[in-house]
Structure 1
Amino acid sequence: MTNFVVKTLANAAALAVAIWLLAGITLDDQAPLGRRALTLILVALVFGLVNILVKPIVKLFSLPLFILTLGLFTLVVNALMLLLTSWLAKQLELSFHVDGFWTAVLGGLIISVVSWAVNLALPDKS
């Protein structure tokens, strides 16, 4: 349970950095700070679920592309997971939006690096 909370907070921090760095990834900036923080945590939960449930299936079916591109196809898969998170957030009426594929590629790269750094800094307790 603790590990799940830590990973969700790491995802929220990574999403916040991507929102801060890229104009094409937005969160409703008109909402009060508490509402934005809650929305960010909910989006991080959706993102985590997408990565747990959908990403392994996509990686399995695209295994030849991973091998062919020596793993660079991971950037495309991460972008697709971020776009799926944006679409699901819209369906759940969360004010998170990713504007286009190339923004999602950059956002996925930023989120991967920040999540890796945060998870490296935090102790891993299962």
Structure 2
Amino acid sequence: MGFLIRILVSALAAMLTAYLLKPAVKVDDFITALILALVLAILNALVRPLLVILTFPVTILTLGLFLFVINALIILLAAKLVPGFKVDGFWWALLFSIIMTIINSILINIAGGNQD
């Protein structure tokens, strides 16, 4: 049940973030946002750990700031995979990632998701 709530909250966060970054980021509807949230969950579970391991020296050298680049790359990959989700470039993907993370954490706290 917790996974479904997190996916719904992530979809809502994606919709809100796309609304805030309207000219550069586009999410067609809530179904697209749900698919996006599911794809992001899968990419974060499968691809992100591999990228973190492969870029570990760069991450150490940049004191962890390279993880923002990995997040933006995951967003760009999701934009390629999910029809109806569009991001205009790397910097917009980076901004989308940061804002969506903030909104997602606020919504998870409101929904009571951190009571594990």
Correspondence 1:24 to 2:24: yes
| Corresponding position of 1:107 | 96
- Unaligned residue ranges in structure 1 (runs of 5+): 29-35
TM-score between both structures, scaled by the size of structure 2: 0.89
Q: State the identity %.
A: 34
Correspondence 1:41 to 2:40: no
- Separation of aligned partners in 1, 2:54 and 2:41: 20
* 2:67 corresponds to which of 74, 78, 98: 74
- Separation of aligned partners in 2, 1:125 and 1:53: 25
**TM alignment of 1:85-124, pairs within 5 A:** 85-89=78-82, 94-121=83-110, 122-124=112-114
- Separation of aligned partners in 1, 2:55 and 2:104: 23
- Separation of aligned partners in 2, 1:76 and 1:108: 10
| Corresponding position of 1:4 | 3
Q: Partner amino acid for 1:123?
A: G
CA-to-aligned-CA distance 1:40-93 (integer Å, 9 cap, x gap): 11111111111111111111111111111111111111100000000011xxxx
Residue 115 of structure 1: SS of its match in structure 2? helix
- Tell me by how many angstroms 1:125 deviates: 6.3
Aligned residues: 114
* Conservation of the 8 A alpha-carbon contact between 2:26 and 2:86: yes
* Conservation of the 8 A alpha-carbon contact between 1:3 and 1:125: no
